[in-house]
Chain A
Amino acid sequence: MRHPVLTMEGISKEFPGVKALSDVNFELYPGEVHALMGENGAGKSTLMKVLSGVYSATQGKIKLKGKEVTFGNPLDAQRQGVSIIHQEFNLFSNLSAAENIFIDRPEMTSRFGRIQWSKMFDEAQRLVDSIGGGEIDVRKEVRHLGVHSQQVIEIAKALSFQADVLIMDEPSAALPENEVKKMFEVVNRLRAQGVAIVYVSHRMKEIFEIADKVTVLRDGTKIDTRSIDEVTEQSLIQMMVGKEVNQLYPVRKQEHGEKVVLQVNQLSLDSTHRISFELRRGEILGLFGVPGSGSHTIAERLFGLKRGTGEIIINGTSVRINSPNEAKAKRIAYVPPDRHRQGIIKPMSIRQNLSLPILPELSKGIVMDRARIEQMSGEYMEKLRIKAPSDQQSVDFLSGGNQQKVVIGKWLAAKPEILILEEPTRGVDVGAKAEIYNIIHQLAEEGLSILLISSEMPEVIGLSDRILVLYKGEVVHEFAHGEADQEQLLQRASHPRLEGGTV
């Protein structure tokens, strides 16, 4: 009987007001690839942050090679043998690959504190070669390397601490399809060397290709750990989704219009992927995909934040959109995914935030028209049911839900024809969610065409008239209203090439 290299016993983690993990047990054996799965918010990343020393658990024990350990910080965890590779790489683009691997390590200096560059280059090259990165020149600065090579450097860095446990968080999200294979070769080598790997991913196909075991989390608790032979995609999805969610979603009173408002032909997302779809008047079109699917890029392209090729036709006329300003002129509005960084201007009042996209319309010459601003702001406070003592209040002091309503409201004030909503309820409590859903619904009934990009399945299913499932920059399936359930949606999004798929 082999002994586990790592055991986590009864791990709980509480944040003010939320229990992110409760009583989770997790075991990991040397030389196994252990997939960790769960929906957004299931607790995967919290568990991995506890394991890698970013968070400390509220309750529970971590044992590494039989000994109980505590990790004060990520470096501490690394020194004891647990390394994590984050989805976003943590590299110094200005430094050589070798230095990225061995930054600030005393063992690379002589007795007198002189850094031994040749030793560092040699060891780095040896390490990189050992995981199949022989083509990488470790003397090169990281900014000259491609994504796969950068990932190899991240892995080498983790291994340079003699890692027994390596956590890979969505390692394929940043990689093009052909490079995923190369990454798997690296993972297989590590497995053969006896490293225990936790593989966090949404992609079914990859899980069945690479994992030995799989553990599913849901709502902060562990559902089960199974050998990969004992599960099917169906059973995994069932474990992840659990019971159906309650009715947060209003029922559509009337069918959407037939008129095509937006038509997208061969819109380029990157150098290889192009996408086409159409959006009708009053329709809510859901775009769903796991990270790296390209749905965010669609929004960026349509709003002029990113340039490329392809045709955008609005109401029958082909248009060019090269900046948000041009998008605005074409009556496109965009509610971005990160409210704090992209949506609101915190120190400004609700009124000022609401008036931002339409300042020219609210001015008389070079002077702002106070009365009209006041009237407009009152109208949208009411329409969106923004709860605040007055519209003069700074948005910084509003709840997440009300802040999000301000972001939606400011774009409605611009009277758009097409509204792109990306993660419209991220970080918003359930009550406010229901309200936002009602608002979205009402807007569609009024004839606004809505593109809903979201990683929350219930939301996409509950609101959309039609859902396009995206995978690595391609539409792999289309669901009509009422056709999709979470299991099917997840299956299409994570393992696209099934019989009956559109590709």
Chain B
Amino acid sequence: MKRLLNVHEAPIIVFTILVIVLFSIISPDFFQFDNIRLILDQNISMFIVAIGMTMVILLGGMDLSVGSVLAVTATSVGLFLSHGIHPWIAAFMGIVIGVLCGMVNGYFIAVRKIPDIIVTLATMYIFRGIAVGISGGTWMTNFPDGFRYFGQGTLLGLSFPLLTAILLIGIFIYLLKFTRMGRRIYAIGGNGSAAKLAGISVAKSKFMVYVLTGLLVGVASVIFASKVGSVQASTAGNSLSFEVMAAVLIGGGSIFGGIGTVAGTMLGVLFMGIIKNGLIISKVSPFWVDATTGFLIILAIVINTLQRIRQNKGKEGDLV
């Protein structure tokens, strides 16, 4: 039991179980197979984008632009489709655009060393503006049937987008835990100057992280466009950046970098999804969802901090 409590994700696991129990008591409709599937389904894009954000926050950075990247890729895919391009090629090109957006962020942050908050604040407007510009302000809609597969299709009897998300989560958990690239991210976020002294190329790692984040947002945007069936450039992914960052923090990530896991973040996304869904199912006014979410972020972070303090107790010696 004690060892279980020391697992990094322990607070969020306990927390998630608590709200599940709570909502199950309040509403019999909550803990139903269909409802659980709905929660997962509604948050697929968030799961995927949050993987990227976990890496960004592990570096000690942040990315305000992911929502806009989602808008610009989804809009582009819509445009490609409306020009009769094959859905698979359109999807691929959309992902490439996501990667390009990540390269732009990565270039200014990692190579030109401009603070991430400034770069992504600027690109948040730029990418959103491009999306609105190329869409001409109209809704992208009437996607061909072949495109619906990405958001609604099934593979081996399972939802295609869910499978994609699970695959990506698996890959990135492995990447962060078992590859030098992943461990470099933790090292840089933990102590940048020590990382440099250990011969780690900080710029290269940062650039890679932003590029991978762009790639993940690209994938997420294809699923998003297909699932929703239409894209409005000015609103798509509007509050995505903040929601995803919140999920990382709720999942045990530290805004100062170096601490956090993909698994924790995924639980964070799930947790936020459950709250939203549960509040609505429990017939609480949907207008209170935001306030509740904010309150829970603070609560989660307090609990994470308490866990860290508890673990730090009993540390030997003290500095003179």
Contacts and interface: CB of A to CB of B under 8 A. Distances in A.
Interface of A: 73-75, 90-95, 99, 103-104, 106, 109, 113-115, 117, 143-149, 174-176, 179, 269-271, 273, 292, 294, 472-473
B187 A270 contact: no
Contacts of B186: 92, 94-95
B199 A95 contact: no
**Which of the listed residues B187, B200, B312 has the most CB atoms from chain A within 10 Å of its own CB?**
B187
Given A103-B198, A115-B180, A144-B312, 16 more contacts: A74-B197, A75-B199, A91-B194, A93-B191, A94-B190, A95-B190, A104-B199, A115-B179, A143-B315, A146-B318, A149-B316, A174-B320, A270-B318, A271-B318, A294-B320, A473-B320
Contacts of A174: 319-320
A175 B193 CA distance: 22
B191 A92 contact: yes
Interface string B153-194: 000000000000000000000000111100110110111011
B180 A95 contact: no
A94 B320 contact: no
A388 B100 CA distance: 50
Give 9 closest A-B pairs by Cβ, nearest first: A146-B316, A146-B317, A75-B199, A94-B258, A90-B194, A92-B190, A94-B190, A114-B178, A115-B178
Contacts of B178: 114-115, 117
Nearest to A74: B197
Given A176-B320, A270-B318, A273-B320, A104 B191 contact: no
Contact of B317 (A95, A148, A269): A148
A99 B316 contact: no
B320 A472 contact: yes
Given A75-B199, A90-B197, A95 B320 contact: no
Nearest to B180: A104
A105 B259 CA distance: 21
Contacts of A270: 318-320
Given A174-B320, A294-B320, A94 B180 contact: no
A90 B259 contact: no
**Which of the listed residues A73, A75, A92, A271 has the most CB atoms from chain B within 10 Å of its own CB?**
A92
B311 interface: yes
Nearest to A113: B179
A90 B193 contact: yes
Contacts of B193: 90
B192 to A, nearest CB: 10
Contacts of A144: 311-312, 315
Contacts of B318: 146-147, 176, 270-271
A328 B39 CA distance: 57
Given A113-B179, A145-B315, A90 B320 contact: no
Contacts of B200: 103-104
Contacts of A269: 320
A217 to B, nearest CB: 24
Contacts of B190: 92-95
Contact of B319 (A104, A143, A147): A147
A106 B200 CA distance: 12
A109 B187 CA distance: 17
13 contacts: A90-B191, A90-B197, A92-B195, A104-B180, A104-B183, A104-B187, A113-B180, A115-B179, A115-B183, A117-B178, A143-B315, A144-B311, A149-B316
**Which of the listed residues B197, B312, B315 has the most CB atoms from chain A within 10 Å of its own CB?**
B197
Contacts of B258: 92-95
A99 B183 contact: yes
Contacts of A103: 183, 187, 195, 198, 200
Contacts of A292: 320
A87 to B, nearest CB: 12
Given A93-B190, A143-B312, A75 B198 contact: yes
Contact of B187 (A75, A92, A147, A271): A92
Contacts of A92: 186-187, 190-191, 194-195, 258
A145 B312 CA distance: 9
Contacts of A74: 197, 199
Interface string B181-225: 001101101110111011110000000000000000000000000
Contact of A176 (B191, B199, B315, B317): B317
A115 B180 CA distance: 7
A176 B317 CA distance: 8
A144 B315 CA distance: 6
B319 to A, nearest CB: 6
A302 B177 CA distance: 46
Contacts of B187: 92, 95, 103-104
B316 A91 contact: no
Given A90-B191, A103-B200, A148 B320 contact: no
B97 to A, nearest CB: 29
Given A114-B178, A143-B312, A146-B317, A94 B183 contact: no
B284 to A, nearest CB: 38
A132 B316 CA distance: 17
Contacts of B177: 115
Nearest to A115: B178
Contacts of A143: 312, 315
Contacts of B199: 73-75, 104
Nearest to A293: B320
A7 B316 CA distance: 39
Nearest to B314: A144
B180 A109 contact: yes
A90 B191 CA distance: 8
Given A75-B197, A104-B200, A179 B317 contact: yes
